[in-house]
Structure 1
Amino acid sequence: MHLQTVLILSAIFLCNAKLPRLRQHVPELPQYLAQNSHSSIREELTKYLAQNSHSSIRDELPKNLAHNSQSSIQDELPQYLAQNSHNSIIERRNERTNRIVDQYRTRHRRESFNSRSYESGLVWAHTERLDDSGDVILRWVNTDSSITFRLEARTRGYVGLGFNSARNMRKADLVVAWVDDTHGNAQILDCHGLAFEDRAVADEVQNYELISGFQNDTHTTVEFRRQLDTCDKQDTVIGEDTLQVLWALGPEGSDGQLPRHVQSGSRPLRLLQPLAKPDSIPLKHWDVRISNFTIPHVMATLFWCKVFKAPELTRKHHIVGYEPLIDSRPIRSGIPVMEKNSLSPVHHMVLYECNEDHDKRQWNKWSESEGFLGPSRPGELATCATPIAAWAMGSKGEFLPENVGIPLGEKGGVSYYMLEVHYDNQELHQFLDNSGIRIHYTSSLRAHDAALLGAGVGVSALHMIPPKQRAYSTVGICSPECTNNTMPEEGINIVSVLLHAHGTARKISLKHIRGNEELPRISEENNYDARYQQSRIVPGGRRFFKGDTLITECTYDSSSRDKPILGGYSATQEMCLSFVLYYPRTELAGCYSMTPVVEFFETFGVKEFYGLNMMEVEKIFLSSGTLDSLPPQLEANIREHSVDGMQGDDQGVGLMKGLVIKDPPEFRNKTFMAHLNEMPWVEPLLTEQIEKTLSKGWHMTFCKRRDDSWGAPIQIQNYPNFTEITRNEASEKSCNYKSVRLPSMTTTGGTASRNTLAAAILAVCIPIIVLR
């Protein structure tokens, strides 16, 4: 408790932060100081007050307290804190921000422009709507070291833009801009969000440079730039990872006053995106879409598969890009309607190329049919195994680099494709859907034939994430035996990667192992957001040789979950996949791994089930969880426990809920799912050991060719032994430019020493308080 009091005092004097429970700790202060008269913390506090007699923070203390001796501080500091409530502390923080804003208004810096005489000449590489209605538009372009923005918003007050790893403004990097209503001059203010509340305050160092700004009767528009890495702890580093881009609109006339915003929101975006443009020549397109399919309100998860016949082409063409066609209309009183804010249940779509078959009549019949529910599709559709286009939520699609294209009509005849659509309808609404993918193709062939390769963790209920975990990792291996058997001698060139998981994933990386060494990551996302799954270009490409290993690793945050999460296709379950675009094209379509069945159940202390031996259980999982050929009583028992799991592709979820444990005796007569739910997941030693066993232990590897045959035998092998790469971010960082420091901050002495002392105290106290 005493350490908690010291932290509160330090935060007030050094950071002016909001601490709601400040007053309740005040009575304990005299007793603490009396008991710790020789403590280093007390000496540091006294020394700090003595050395900062002219600082802005010391000015906030009463003069009699600021100049008094150490013993007087012990007596008068509690009284001062009791008299100065939390509200007055916040008022002083606001006064500091207002002083900075006033300096912007009164001085004539070059960042202030008369908007009527300025016209932007910049060409914007990217444009995104930050809100659903298009009232806030963000445009940007970047160099290797800086980024320039144009923010257009429907407001005549201030407009705010922010960057954070979370979807709120706490500790966020913020910039607030406005146009003076009297003189029409634009102003900009570098801010940050407080740690304990949604409030913006000015940074000590101003790192945003205003280019221009103007407003009309409805909109405010500002252009500004900053360094990608300002070397300022109050600013976010803009890099390859996804950021939560925040926006806020102030009330009319709020020119720098920073009152509460009237509108706000956030959107995940990756700001450093290499451009991939369509050909300059006209492209043809082929719309592959579902037609008038009714999504029933009784199914939360639904997979629908539809076969399509490609355009009849006399020779090979190249697919050079694709984009989503989302058209889902809610059915109200039996009539499909257009609703502005209605969210589509389309979760992701994959277009697969089907292996050629001599029975054209059967494939034509399937292409003319409505389609099939995922678990009931014809077995022949298993040959539709090579992904051509993969789309997930938040993606705008993709145009391939100018040197590669995916073959279409390669044999001069008719080809068949299968569109697989995953609908996530957790709200159990009824929809009429006409969604799909628009394929762009050209007769002008590119230099290389490309293909997509699926890799990662095999979709199965054996892919388990425990609850109550902040960072739990799983891995899927593409083995060297698979790449040896399916790739050419010269290897392949990786162009781009789509990383895919569901809502609890926070990090995904695609690792590249050669021999016993890890090479730089092919692709990596440290702020994964399932709402934004855009393909990632691999800068310069990556040469991948036969015999190399791919490892897809996902890290999940399940701290808000009370029960384990099983792998599966539902949005409430989890995946860990990477779709790799590469050239030249090979026969390889998929390369995955999962925990072997026996090792999985032994990890949780289970040796035997009633009615099925482990070999039979393994057979069910290898057949995607189908329950065919089971004893009728056992099948009925499993289906009874898996009503929700059988709505879509089950992948063994129903089996996990229906298997009853026979051995060991202490778990006897429990279903395996009940056993999982009762495990003490809050014990870190338990979850750490499970994570190590399932991720870094034995893996069952799968290698599938485009014709659905095995590219290499199914094998059980240990996690590869290799030396992981290490990164020294401090040595890689270069901050050779100067930040813009406000005059108000440069005239106050001792800033560096204050920050050093603050950091030292907070670094020691915060972990202790969190643990208490």
Structure 2
Amino acid sequence: MRLLPHILLTLWSVLYIPSRTSAQQHLSNQDQNDPDVTVQSHGLKRPDFKVADALLSDWEGDHWASLDADLDKVSLSWTTDKEHITFQLEVVSTGWVSIALTFRGNLPGSDIIVGWVGEDGVATLVDAHGDSEGKMIKDKVQDYQLIVGYQYQDSTVLRFKRKLNTCDGDDLVITNDTFRLRWFYSSKDPRNEMDLPYLTSERQGQRAIHLYETSKFKQRQPKALKWTVASNSVVLPRKHTLYWCTMIKLPEMPEKHHMIGYRPVLTPGSEKYVHHMMIYECHDEDDSASKFHRHVNSGYECNTPNMPKDFRNCRGIIAAWGLGGEPFFLPEEAGYPVGEEHGGATYYMLEVHYDNPGLHGNIVDSSGLEVFLTPNLRKYDSGLLTVGHDVSSFQLIPPGEEAFTTVGHCPEVCTQTLPQEGINIFAGLPHTHNLGRAMRLRHLRNDQEQPVPFQDRFYDPNYQTMRRFELNLKPRDHLMTECTYNSSELDTYTRGGFSSRNEMCMMFLHYYPATRLAHCASRLTLKHVLLALGVSVWPITPSTRHLGLRVREPWQYQNLTFTDYLRVNGGKSRAANIRLQEASLHHSHMAECFDYGERRVYADGLEFSTPRIHNPLYDNVGGCFDESQGTFAYDPRLNQPLHANAHKPMVTILSFSVASVFLLYILF
């Protein structure tokens, strides 16, 4: 679909433009300052040559995505710089077309762009928003700039740009959050802009997209060996969602190699079905060669009873690609070692998420990632550091909560093992299971909060990709990983675990230079979990260990196992849920820090107090400073305070102080 416009336009230029020189000579006799000048030739009306230049230019965005995996009739290209984002929307339709930027798919409060090309060949673009009923309302200020709009055969193409932050309350700020992009189109043009609130689409849909990344380190495809990690002729069933896992072995190499990047390799015809792909490292303390080797090149539906248990030892995510993602390359000074003997892994698992809303059949796919390897070692080995909440069945998410936050810590006792100059984090992959709705990584130094290196306030667990950001982590720094879940539709507790029915709260951080530290996490102490729930348990002794953890109080649940208590109680106490949230945010945790394979343990259940943050940072996303008024305007849809371990926000204290001074001035 992307090449078709260029082919057609090339033919158009041959058939309808005799020569560039003659066209320029023809224009010289007319008012060249008139933007609406057209040239009549052989009875045909042609667009002005400024438009023709735009049509014939080979513009391709840094990113591209098919928005409708059903019929592949809607695609979007885009590219960003420090201040602007440029879109190109291509739709197989000759009527009006539209996209709406949303965070959760809701049209009220969304940022809408609608456009069309009239019968006279003139393109119209309208900057709009969704009102409380989701109807299109034209913005008072038009912040989107039309670059070019045209139709060829049965398709409409609109290219337009805007600032990342327009300082317009009717527009959303383009951030590195996950956007839920909705699209619409019709075969008819509206009569005029007054029709916008009443437009009815003939077809519509939505997809998750990452439009912007805060880090833009140089991306250049190096010369390297290519290793394809791919599924093995997977036959897609007629079901909406499929996760497929395949075991892969690293090719034998005579010497150490670095992984320096990867790019997607999609089976022709399957592009619209492949939603995202991940490569996991597989490690085991025992003989991994025999455990994993028997599964090489075999594939199973992920996290089902048919998937071998050995696959569950594949955890660290070293590569990830999602819809609209581009090839990923490590910084030029770093490379990720492969091979167990070189500090990497020999066995890997590829996970592919297929999205098939049309329930199409007879689709055979062998998509995967092409990994770039080189024996020309980079200056630094890069490493993979897992941070967050340790995977534990005592991580509890109560039911009926729209926003319950779990916090995991990478504390000073673990980061003190880092080299004096620290490590340079350049990318990371946030990871939860199905209940995850928001994620944030916070950075503390000497109990002072530093700028937030990463957050996704509208995280989508079904759209997980590698995210670029930069952070220098020094010895004795403290990292906090916050995961917010929505359990409003559940009626029982969700526990931590590796199954998709359980939950996780992790970030897989890529950094250099590599150190021995590979896992830096924490978990809430059992005593605080029990206190929050109002439960006491019988002590476990060697003679009662086989009975498991059993409830002592409340008396009506006495001698139930803790698991049965959670199932029977079902999170009915709202007060207990509030106490559990308070405990997760503020009470002491136990550190779990070690290298891969747990060959060296730095902290094993060491209890520590969570940090008291004296200067909590607050989101100002969407705010703009008005120089004429000397004020800072906030977008109430976006400004949410970070969870802070401080008793009073600094803003409140300052406001009280200023008010007090003003009152004293009036009185005296």
TM class, shorter-length: 0.7 to 0.9
Compared with structure 1, are the counterparts of its residues 356 and 279 closer, same or farther at alpha carbon in structure 2 (3 Å cutoff)? Answer: farther
Question: Which of 92, 106, 109 is residue 168 of structure 1 equivalent to?
Answer: 106
Q: Quick one: structure 1 residues 311 and 204, their matched pair in 2 at CA, closer, same or farther if it must change by over 3 Å?
A: same
Q: Which residue of 154, 165, 170 corresponds with 1:234?
A: 170
Q: Which residue of 2 aligns with 1:103?
A: none
Q: Which residue number in structure 2 is paired with residue 514 of structure 1?
A: 445
Equivalent position of 2:185 in the other structure: 249
Deviation at 1:111, TM superposition (A): 10
Tell me what 2:640 maps to.
none
The residue number in structure 2 matching 1:48 is none
2:310 maps to: 377
Quote the residue 1:185 is aligned against: 122
Match of 2:413 in 1: 481
Distance in 2 (alpha carbons) for counterparts of 1:418 and 1:277? 27
CA–CA distance in structure 1, aligned partners of residues 401 and 344 of structure 2: 50
**1:173-217 alpha-carbon deviations (Å, 9 max, x no partner):** 111111111x11011112111212x32122222222222211122
Instruction: Note closer, same or farther for the CA distance 1:433–1:604 as it changes in structure 2 (3 Å cut).
Output: farther
Deviations 1:67-123 (A, max 9, x none): xxxxxxxxxxxxxxxxxxxxxxxxxxxxxxxxxxxxxxxxx9979998553132555
Q: 2:374 matched to 1:442?
A: yes
Question: Which digits, 9 at most, give the CA deviation of each residue in 1:361-388, with x for residues without a partner?
Answer: 847955768599777439xx96x77653
Deviations 1:684-710 (A, max 9, x none): 544222111133212121112124223
1:529 deviates by 1.3
User: Does 278-287 or 552-561 show the bigger shift?
Assistant: 278-287
> Shift in Å at residue 585 of structure 1?
0.7
What is the match of residue 460 of structure 1?
392
Among 575, 592, 604, the residue aligned to 1:702: 592
Matched, 1:603 2:532: yes
1:398 corresponds in structure 2 to 328
Q: CA deviation at 1:729?
A: 2.8
**Structure 1 unaligned residues grouped into runs of 5+:** 1-107, 328-337, 618-629, 635-654, 738-758, 760-772
- Mean Cα displacement is larger for which, 153-162 or 254-263? 254-263
Residue 66 (structure 2) aligns with: 129
Task: State the match for 1:719 in structure 2.
Answer: 610
Out of 506, 511, 531, the residue aligned to residue 582 of structure 1 is 511
CA drift at 1:221:
0.9
- What residue is the counterpart of 1:23 in the other structure? none
- What does residue 318 of structure 2 align with? 388
Alignment CA distance shift 1:484-1:340 (3 Å): closer
> How many pairs does the alignment contain?
570
Give the Cα separation in 2 of the matches to 1:301 and 1:212.
39
Q: Output the amino acid matched with 1:595.
A: L
Instruction: Kindly state the Cα deviation for residue 574 of structure 1 after the two structures are TM-superposed.
Output: 2.0
TM norm structure 1: 0.64
Within-5 A mapping of 1:397-436: 398-408=328-338, 416-419=346-349, 421=351
* Per-residue deviation, 1:163: 1.0
Query: 1:644-723, aligned counterparts within 5 Å?
Result: 661-668=551-558, 670=560, 672-673=562-563, 675-676=565-566, 685-714=575-604, 715-723=606-614
Q: Deviation of residue 584 (structure 1)?
A: 0.1
Partner SS for 2:82: coil
The CA distance in 2 between the partners of 1:265 and 1:371, in whole Å, is 31
For residue 481 of structure 1, give the secondary structure of its aligned residue in structure 2: helix
Q: Is the 8 A contact 1:306 1:420 kept in 2?
A: yes
Contact 2:280 2:315 in 1 (8 A): no
Q: TM-score normalized by structure 2? A: 0.73
Residue 651 of structure 2: aligned partner: none
Give per-residue Cα distances to partners, 1:632-652, cap 9 Å, x unaligned. xx6xxxxxxxxxxxxxxxxxx
Structural mapping, 1:332-371, within 5 Å? 349-352=278-281, 354=283, 362=290, 366=294
Residue of structure 2 equivalent to 1:286: 227
The separation in 2 between residues aligned to 1:405 and 1:385, in whole angstroms, is 20
Write the letter of the residue equivalent to 1:264: Q
Alignment of 1:38-187 (within 5 A): 115=47, 117=49, 118=51, 119-120=53-54, 121=57, 124-132=61-69, 133-181=71-119, 183-187=120-124
Task: Supply the AA of the counterpart residue of 1:506.
Answer: R
Residue of structure 2 in register with 1:613 after alignment: 540
Structure with more of its chain in helix, by fraction: 1
Q: Give the corresponding residue for 2:211.
A: 271
Opposite residue 157 of structure 1, the aligned amino acid is G
Output the CA distance in 1 between the equivalents of 2:150 and 2:534. Answer: 67
Distance (whole Å) between structure 2 residues aligned to residue 691 and residue 476 of structure 1: 13
Q: 1:568 to 1:728 in 2, by over 3 A?
A: closer
SS at match of 1:167: coil
Q: 1:356 to 1:718 in 2, by over 3 A?
A: closer
Quote the RMSD (CA, aligned, Å): 4.4
Judge conservation of contact 1:311–1:414 (CA < 8 Å) in 2: no
Letter of the 2:75 counterpart: I
Residues 471 and 305 of structure 1, relative CA distance in 2, 3 Å threshold: same
Letter in 2 for 1:230: T
Listed one character per residue, the Cα deviations across residues 151-176 of structure 1 (whole Å, up to 9, x for unaligned) are: 11111000112111221322211111
Q: Contact between 2:436 and 2:485, CA under 8 Å: does it hold in 1? A: yes
The whole-number CA distance in structure 1 between the counterparts of 2:363 and 2:531 is: 43
CA shift in 2, pair 1:685/1:424, >3 Å: farther
One-letter amino acid matched to 1:192 = H
**8 A Cα contact 2:103 2:179, kept in partner:** yes
The SS at the match of 1:244 is strand
Structure ID, larger Rg: 1
Contact 1:451 1:582 in 2 (8 A): yes
Instruction: Name the structure 2 match of 1:92.
Output: none
Counterpart residue number, 2:653: none
SS in 2 for 1:582: strand
For residue 190 of structure 1, give the secondary structure of its aligned residue in structure 2.
strand
- Structure 2 CA distance, aligned partners of 1:150 and 1:475? 39
Q: Which has the higher contact order (CA 8 A, sep 6+)?
A: 1
Hey, which of these two has a bigger chunk of strand by percent? 2
Instruction: Name the CA distance, whole Å, in 1 between partners of 2:364 and 2:461.
Output: 24
2:259–2:337: 8 Å Cα contact kept in structure 1? yes
Letter in 1 for 2:186: G
What is the Cα deviation at residue 605 of structure 1? Answer: 2.3
User: Which deviations, in whole Å up to 9, do the C-alpha atoms of 1:419-476 show, x marking residues without a partner?
Assistant: 2759899x9x999996764322223433322111111112222221112222211111
* Equivalent position amino acid for 2:166 in 1: T
